[in-house]
Structure 1
């Protein structure tokens, strides 16, 4: 194996040069913010389950995410916030549903986690998550096309490869 391929496996948790992003909306109703935080918490549960190669736990967390999506009272959002949320709600639900219904197929779950991560990323960039999150990237996911995910910790725990390559990835941004 040459050095070009091994450098892709290096994990970086040094955040000194990492871009910091602040949520777009700052005037979010407290109840709506709590609902969005609950969705993010379930997403993080899915991420951790996939990093631990636990498809059944990921399915349980995805079902909880589906329920949390249904609980958001959109009447608490401003018109601009509602537009931003509505643009992603259907896709959020679709990918959570696929992960929930495939407790026996972690490969399928991980495929939908790629899209779920992109939608949750947009949600967090708009509404925040009640805490800082790390935008991580694995260059080897999606057949070396790369994929991102959000994490509650600086430490890389790759949900796309689990134990096979748990530390593959880098921190790209910190979202406040």
Structure 2
């Protein structure tokens, strides 16, 4: 029986990586007009300094809130509890000023109060659903990607928004950074 356990764990990990595109890109560069944006897989604790936006949400208030959403996504991806709380606090304040932003503000408040990164990530799903609804209603200039991880929330699946086609999963972070796929391009 003990030999059997030695095979289960490696097989389970291999299956999870295969089902979620287990390869990780170390660095990509994308030219956008006159700007080049670097997207690197950061070591734990590293903060991305890449520009957050290659598009614009047509509602100025929501556009400003989306900047905090991107900071929150980055914090969750990098496993940074305190940074996620700070971004969520700012997102909550901004969402209160956005028409229809009550659900977004409420979800952000739950992330601020969450005692662990795992609980923050669980609340991020409802926040993302609210953000997706508001963004689709407002419209965008450029492209925004609606990403999906089928393994998030105990295999229930969850969505998030991204400005890049490259998957950087905020629900699992470094554990399964590239798990997921682009489900929709919002234009």
Please classify the TM superposition score into its range, dividing by the shorter chain length: 0.7 to 0.9
The residue aligned with 2:144 is: 133
Q: For the residues of structure 2 that align with 1:121 and 1:114, how far apart are their CA atoms?
A: 10
Structure with a larger share of its residues in helix:
1
- Does the residue aligned with 1:153 lie in a helix, a strand or coil? coil
Structure having greater relative contact order (Cα 8 Å, sep ≥ 6): 1
In the superposition, the TM-score normalised over structure 1's length comes to 0.73
- Structure 1 stretches lacking a partner, 5+ long: 13-31, 75-84
Q: Give the Cα–Cα distance (whole angstroms) in 1 for the partners of residues 92 and 142 of structure 2.
A: 21
Contact (CA 8 Å) 2:79, 2:117: kept in 1 or not? yes
Q: Which residue of 2 aligns with 1:34?
A: 60
* TM-score normalised by structure 2 residue count: 0.69
Equivalent of 1:147 in 128, 134, 158: 158
**CA RMSD, 1 decimal:** 2.1
Flag as ranges the 4+ runs of structure 1 deviating above 6 A. none
Question: Unpaired runs of 5+ in structure 2?
Answer: 1-10, 24-57
SS at match of 1:71: coil
* 4 and 107 in structure 1: CA distance in 2 versus 1, 3 angstrom threshold: closer
CA displacement at 1:154 relative to structure 2: 1.2
8 Å CA contact 1:133–1:152 kept in 2: the answer is: yes
Aligned to 1:46: 72
Partner of 1:79: none
Match among 97, 118, 129 for residue 71 of structure 1: 97
Residues 1:59 and 2:85 are matched in the alignment: yes
Checking the alignment, whether the CA contact within 8 Å between 1:141 and 1:160 is kept in structure 2 is yes
**Within-5 A mapping of 1:13-24:** none
Contact 1:51 1:158 in 2 (8 A): yes
Matched residues in 2 for 1:114 and 1:150: separation? Answer: 11
C-alpha distance 34-123 of structure 1, shift in aligned 2 (>3 A): same
Larger radius of gyration: 2
Task: Tell me which moved more, 36-45 or 125-134.
Answer: 125-134
Alignment CA distance shift 1:5-1:54 (3 Å): closer
Q: Which residue of 2 aligns with 1:27?
A: none
Aligned CA distance change for structure 1 residues 59 and 130 (closer, same or farther; 3 Å): farther
Looking at structure 2, the residues matched to 126 and 7 of structure 1 have their Cα atoms a distance apart, in angstroms, of: 35
Residues in 2 aligned to 1:49 and 1:109: alpha-carbon distance in whole angstroms: 10
Q: Write 1 or 2 for the structure with the bigger share of strand.
A: 2
Count of residue correspondences: 142
* Alpha-carbon separation, structure 1, partners of 2:16 and 2:108: 33
